[in-house]
A = this chain, B = another copy of it.
């Protein structure tokens, strides 16, 4: 019962913003905030969900123009970021962020130019909501395989 307030979590990568989202719980369930009019940026281009099965990884992707706004209302995931921007103060930095209720029900905002991947680290299907700032366009997406010389990070995929 009760609610958890809003605060910001520091990120090692310039332009990435992670903040606590409100959760209002009662005996029937909960109401979970995701995006409200006061939020910046407010433009919503497309809203979709990604389901990841336990142990599985979806990686790597980089958007040249799209800003991702992610929250994880079910399950728990490891979000891994790699700063691929040539002109960034945090260039080539890697960061891991855990997302999931109740203690890490966060809004994670990922600007363009960041490689990112997600692994479900819970025993149930994880649900990632994305309120992107523009419509999906395959032409603005770069992809790399899980194992790549570009990104110094080793995924440990746990296959069933």
Seen from chain A, the residues whose Cβ lies within 8 Å of a Cβ on chain B are 27-37, 44-53, 56-58, 73-74, 120, 125-127, 129, 131, 135
A116 CB to nearest B CB, Å: 15
When distances are taken between beta carbons in the complex, the residues of chain B under 8 Å from A29 are 50-53, 56, 58, 120, 125-126
- Report the 6 A-B pairs with minimum CB-CB distance, sorted nearest first: A29-B51, A32-B49, A30-B51, A35-B47, A34-B47, A29-B52
Distance A125 CA – B30 CA, assembled complex (angstroms): 10
A42 vs B127: C-alpha distance when bound (angstroms)? 23
> Taking the nearest CB of chain B, how far is it from the CB of A95, in angstroms?
22
Work out how many copies of this chain go into the complex.
Answer: 2
Q: Please, which residue of chain B has its CB at the minimum distance from the CB of A22?
A: B48
* Interchain CB contact under 8 A, B51 and A46: no
Whether A49 contacts B28 in the complex (CB less than 8 A), given A74-B127, A127-B74, comes out as no
Let me know if A35 and B28 touch, CB within 8 A: no
Contacts of A57 in B (CB 8 A): 28
Give the CA-CA distance A36 to B134 in the complex, in Å. Answer: 9
Residues of B contacting A50 in the complex (Cβ-Cβ under 8 angstroms): 29-32
Complex Cα–Cα for A52 and B21 (A) = 18
A44 pairs with B44, CB closer than 8 A: yes
CA distance A32 to B126 in the complex (A): 13
Residues of B within 8 A of A47 (CB): 34-36, 44, 47, 129, 131
For the complex formed, measure the closest distance between the CB of A71 and the CB atoms of chain B, giving whole angstroms: 8
Set of chain B residues within 8 Å of A33, measured between Cβ atoms: 48
Q: Which residues of B contact A27 (CB under 8 A)?
A: 53, 56
